[in-house]
């Protein structure tokens, strides 16, 4: 054991994935999560290309596949429910619009947490209130009153990262709103939904239903344009009011889906936004996942970036003998162009949903060769070193996978 103590803020996807790799590389890991328990909810997230390879290296193939939504594909529909277009989950070798590995965010978070809970210290219902770094370490004061010292601190606390604000500056400097808002919540499956996702679009707004593992329920999804976004991301009642307001008059099954808004156990709404930063670290403090480089749900790759980033960050730090400058620097060099390709896709998809108008850029031509190349870079465009010679305990507490992802 190196005895290196690392504090990670956030227990969603990036945090537990990083905890897995740090522990395997020999660090002692504490994860602090603001919520009182692991947060359920969120729509399906996808793992494509290299992210699938990271899941395989984590030994979590079988556990992740067992929790998949098993969505067969997607239909876009007209106001009467007639199918307009079809996308299949096995298109593009399983790495297409509906990925072969598609799992509810809350379920993936649970798999990662179950895998690490025995070897990692999880502290729920607390957060970092203050931190001060010197050459050898970081003194942390927790909101609950504890004071502790760590060698490294990593913020995996999402788009609205408090650690980023504390160390790097106010959110306005880094968060770019792409002009749309997304909302998700589960509803009783009174719509006869089978394994196919349905989506209806009308003048820049959309409503959809997605199958989930529990066939008695479905995941409702809404998207609407919003130039300004003033609603507090923790004020759920205000978010629901906003959704009702903005969805008024939308056709198809929208009124029936909205009728379940008040009894949803897992409502989630947020702006479609990206985080763009010149550096993802400052001294002994680094950032990972949405906190550092949110590509927005429109890229379909936020989870993939978090998983790949976790692997590289732990690997580079351990390979550098836990030297923050070399370790954080190596992680940035390896990740940056991969992140940029995914952010580009997020921006293009957001633009394609803009309502046409004189001041609006035309929708991109997704049929071009340039887009195929961009997708290739966004899915496969990062090398995963095997870090031979770097300690690897191979430890995973959860079920180990035997399935091969890339047969
Ligand atoms: C409830 C929820 C639902 C989501 N739903 C979707 C979805 O449907 N589709 C989609 O594409 N993306 C969704 N996302 C975002 C998606 O999870 C990320 O894009 C991606 O997986 C990268 O995850 P992350 O771990 O970097 O950030 P996030 O998943 O945003 O996780 C950040 C974590 O940090 C915690 N946190 C926040 N502030 C603090 C603090 N000060 N101290 C400690 N912990 C803190 C949060 O509670 C959360 O658990 C959702 C995120 C959450 C939290």
Lowest mean pLDDT, pick from 188-192, 193-197, 395-399: 395-399
C-alpha dihedral (211, 214, 217, 221), degrees to nearest 10: -40
Mean confidence (pLDDT) of the chain: 90
CA-CA distance, 60 to 23, in Å (whole number)? 15
- Is there an atom of ligand 1 within 6 Å of 208 CB? no
- Is there an atom of ligand 1 within 6 Å of 74 CB? no
Q: Examine the pLDDT at 323 and tell me if it is beyond 80.
A: yes
Mean pLDDT for 59-74 is: 89
Mean pLDDT for 338-356 is: 89
- Is there an atom of ligand 1 within 6 Å of 268 CB? yes
Whole-model pTM above 0.85?
Answer: yes
315 versus 356: which is more confidently predicted?
315
Q: Within 10 Å of residue 123's Cβ, how many Cβ atoms?
A: 15
**Can you say how many angstroms the Cα of residue 154 is from the centroid of all Cα atoms in its chain?**
16
Residue whose CA is at the smallest distance from ligand 1 atom 30: 158
CA-CA distance, 393 to 407, in Å (whole number)? 26
CA-CA distance, 40 to 291, in Å (whole number)? 19
274 versus 399: which is more confidently predicted?
274
Q: What is the pLDDT of residues 112-134, one digit of tens each?
A: 999 999 999 999 999 999 999 99
Question: Of ligand 1's atoms, which has the minimum distance to the CA of residue 184?
Answer: 8
CA-CA distance, 252 to 243, in Å (whole number)? 16
Confidence of residue 402 (pLDDT cuts 50, 70, 90): very low
- Is there an atom of ligand 1 within 6 Å of 295 CB? no
Question: Of ligand 1's atoms, which has the minimum distance to the CA of residue 32?
Answer: 43
- Is there an atom of ligand 1 within 6 Å of 347 CB? no
The H helix count followed by the E strand count for the chain is 11, 18
326 contacts 334 by C-beta, under 8 angstroms: no
- Is there an atom of ligand 1 within 6 Å of 96 CB? no
Ligand 1 centroid to residue 159 C-alpha, Å: 7
Ligand 1 centroid to residue 158 C-alpha, Å: 5
DSSP 401: P
- Is there an atom of ligand 1 within 6 Å of 58 CB? no
Residue 101: predicted pLDDT = 79
166 versus 100: which is more confidently predicted?
166
- Is there an atom of ligand 1 within 6 Å of 127 CB? yes
From residue 237, alpha-carbon distances to 232, 246, 262 in Å are 10, 14, 9
Element (H, E) at 293: helix 290-293
- Is there an atom of ligand 1 within 6 Å of 43 CB? yes
Q: Among residues of the chain, what percentage have pLDDT more than 70?
A: 92
Residue 34: predicted pLDDT = 97
Mean pLDDT for 52-63 is: 95
Residue whose CA is at the smallest distance from ligand 1 atom 38: 157
Strand 152-155 relative to strand 285-287, pairing: parallel
Which stretches of 59-126 are DSSP H helices? Answer: 61-66, 105-116
CA-CA distance, 7 to 294, in Å (whole number)? 21
- Is there an atom of ligand 1 within 6 Å of 107 CB? no
Q: What is the pLDDT of residues 152-184, one digit of tens each?
A: 999 999 999 999 999 999 999 999 999 999 999
Q: Among residues of the chain, what percentage have pLDDT more than 90?
A: 71
Q: Examine the pLDDT at 142 and tell me if it is beyond 70.
A: yes
3-state secondary structure of 294: coil
Ligand 1 centroid to residue 12 C-alpha, Å: 5
Confidence of residue 339 (pLDDT cuts 50, 70, 90): very high
- Is there an atom of ligand 1 within 6 Å of 240 CB? no
Residue 153: predicted pLDDT = 98
Residue whose CA is at the smallest distance from ligand 1 atom 23: 13
- Is there an atom of ligand 1 within 6 Å of 18 CB? no
Residue whose CA is at the smallest distance from ligand 1 atom 27: 158
- Is there an atom of ligand 1 within 6 Å of 47 CB? no
Long-range contacts of 341-344 (CB under 8 A, 24+ apart): 341/374, 341/377, 341/378, 341/381, 342/295, 342/299, 342/301, 342/304, 342/305, 342/378, 343/274, 343/276, 343/293, 343/295, 343/296, 343/299, 344/374, 344/378
Residue whose CA is at the smallest distance from ligand 1 atom 52: 42
- Is there an atom of ligand 1 within 6 Å of 179 CB? no
Direct distance between the N- and C-terminal alpha carbons of the chain, in angstroms, rounded to an integer: 35
Residue 358: predicted pLDDT = 67
Mean pLDDT for 13-35 is: 97
Ligand 1 centroid to residue 274 C-alpha, Å: 13
């Amino acid at each position: 054991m190196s005895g290196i103590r690392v504090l990670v803020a956030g227990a969603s996807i990036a945090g537990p994935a990083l905890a897995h790799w740090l522990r395997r590389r020999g660090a002692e890991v504490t994860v602090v999560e603001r919520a009182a328990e692991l947060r359920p909810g969120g729509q399906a997230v996808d793992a494509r290309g290299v992210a699938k390879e990271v899941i395989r290296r984590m030994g979590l193939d079988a556990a992740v596949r067992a929790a998949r939504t098993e969505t067969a594909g997607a239909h876009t529909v007209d106001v009467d429910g007639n199918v307009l277009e079809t996308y299949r989950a096995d298109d593009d070798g399983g790495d297409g619009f509906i990925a072969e590995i598609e799992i509810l965010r809350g379920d993936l978070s649970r798999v990662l947490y179950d895998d690490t809970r025995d070897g990692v210290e999880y502290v729920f219902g607390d957060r970092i209130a203050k931190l001060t770094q010197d050459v050898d370490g970081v003194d942390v004061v927790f909101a609950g009153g504890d004071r502790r010292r760590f060698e490294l601190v990593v913020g995996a606390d999402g788009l609205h990262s408090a650690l980023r604000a504390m160390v790097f500056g106010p959110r306005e400097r880094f968060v770019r709103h792409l002009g749309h808002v997304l909302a998700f919540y589960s509803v009783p499956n009174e719509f006869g939904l089978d394994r196919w996702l349905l989506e209806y679009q009308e003048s820049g707004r959309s409503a959809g239903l997605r199958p989930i593992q529990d066939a008695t329920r479905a995941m409702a999804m809404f998207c609407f344009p919003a130039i300004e976004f003033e609603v507090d991301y923790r004020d759920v009642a205000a978010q629901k009011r906003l959704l009702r307001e903005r969805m008024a008059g939308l056709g198809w099954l929208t009124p029936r889906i909205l009728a379940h808004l008040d009894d949803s156990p897992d409502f989630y709404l947020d702006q479609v936004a990206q985080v763009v930063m010149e550096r993802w670290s400052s001294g002994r403090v680094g950032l990972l996942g949405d906190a550092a480089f949110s590509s927005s749900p429109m890229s379909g790759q936020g989870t993939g970036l978090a998983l790949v980033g976790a692997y590289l960050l732990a690997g580079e730090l351990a390979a550098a003998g836990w030297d923050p400058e070399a370790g954080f620097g190596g992680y940035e060099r390896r990740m940056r162009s991969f992140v940029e390709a995914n952010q580009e896709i997020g921006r293009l998809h957001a633009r394609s949903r803009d309502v046409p108008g004189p001041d609006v850029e035309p929708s991109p031509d997704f049929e071009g060769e340039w887009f195929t190349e961009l997708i290739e870079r966004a899915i496969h465009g990062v090398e995963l070193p095997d870090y031979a010679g770097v300690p690897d305990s191979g430890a995973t507490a959860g079920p180990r996978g035997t399935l091969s992802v890339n047969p």
